[in-house]
Amino acid sequence: MAMQENTTDGCANMKKKVFLGACSLVLFLLVAGYVFERWAVRSELETLKIKGKLIKVDGASMHIQCLGSGNPTVILESGLGSDMTSWDNIIDPVSKMTRVCRYDRSGYGLSEGNPSEATIENQSHRLKELLNAAGIKGPKILVGHSAGGLYARHFATLELGVVGMVLVDSSASLSKKDFEKFFTIPISSQIKGRLKLIASKFALIRVKNWFLSNPTDTQPKWYPEQSIFSSRYIEALFQDENIYLSVLSTPEPDLHNIPIVVISRGNDFMNNGSKKSEFDIAWDGWQKQLLNLSSHSSHVIAEESGHGIQDDQPELIVDAIKNILEGVSSRKIKNVNS
């Protein structure tokens, strides 16, 4: 009987030791993962080159690069999940015509994350403060890719000097029906997204990619230089997506009938020769909807492009900016002569 009790006690103690050992191991791995992730993020930041300058906005550094001279100033707004490098093929040719600026939104590239609430109002405010701090005054032409086109239109409500806009395969404000059909995120996916954000803090997403990545996978050219598996990027994207979805079904702002050029992709999203999906076909319709934003709008189809027109046919964007600049100049001459 005593031997049976000793055996039972021994098994219980063994289970307790195994449990405590497992908990200690998990805790150690989490702490090690957290420390490693912070080191990895710092190391990645050191590899990114400062292309312009860092300016403090609301206590956080933001990265902006301006080239060229003259007015209006062209402001380049990147799409969802992208940093300023998505405009590599655009900034140099435009800088030969006028001043042009591109920047990293909070958390992307070299811009620090911002602790303020992720809203379109706060995001537009930060851009306005950034441009003021950088000394960018006077009239502006806004160029927005994808979600950046939606953001640019909301920024225009704060910036009275916007004299033109180029929407590069831009998102449109959707009807409730279209939003629910194409952009409603199931609760399970929302929970998965939050868990991914938490897991990234402990390097779990980074490690998972090391062992489970598919070497045949290719990411779009407009993706950023920074690792898309880093906690810093995942957190920035998480906030960016929340802002995007919050404004996607809101009414379009009043753009005061400024000249607008809508440039739409002619091929499927990734430009890989696939048949257009139901989403692609709906997107084509939303592009036509954007033409209603102004009676001074025009439509260009990028026949050889997917969603990344700035990579596939950058000359179309440069030409559109040039046309708006020429229109602004001609209106100035008319005003002087009248």
CB-based contact 18:26 (threshold 8 Å): no
Of how many residues is the chain composed? 338
Q: Which of 3.40.50.1820, 1.10.1660.10, 2.20.25.10, 3.60.15.10 would CATH assign to domain 53-179+241-337?
A: 3.40.50.1820
Alpha-carbon span 176 to 248, nearest angstrom: 10
Structure tokens at 36: 């490693």
Residue 219 confidence class, pLDDT cut points 50, 70, 90:
low
Reported as a single tens digit per residue, the pLDDT across 240-273 is 999 999 999 888 888 888 999 999 999 888 767 7
Of 59, 71, 287, 265, nearest to 173 by C-alpha is: 287
Residue 8 confidence class, pLDDT cut points 50, 70, 90:
low
Pick 205 or 275 by higher pLDDT. 205
Return the domain boundaries, the chain: 1-47, 53-179+241-337
Reported as a single tens digit per residue, the pLDDT across 159-180 is 889 999 999 999 999 988 999 9
Sign, CA dihedral 125-131-134-136, equals negative
CB-based contact 206:40 (threshold 8 Å): yes
- pTM for the model: 0.89
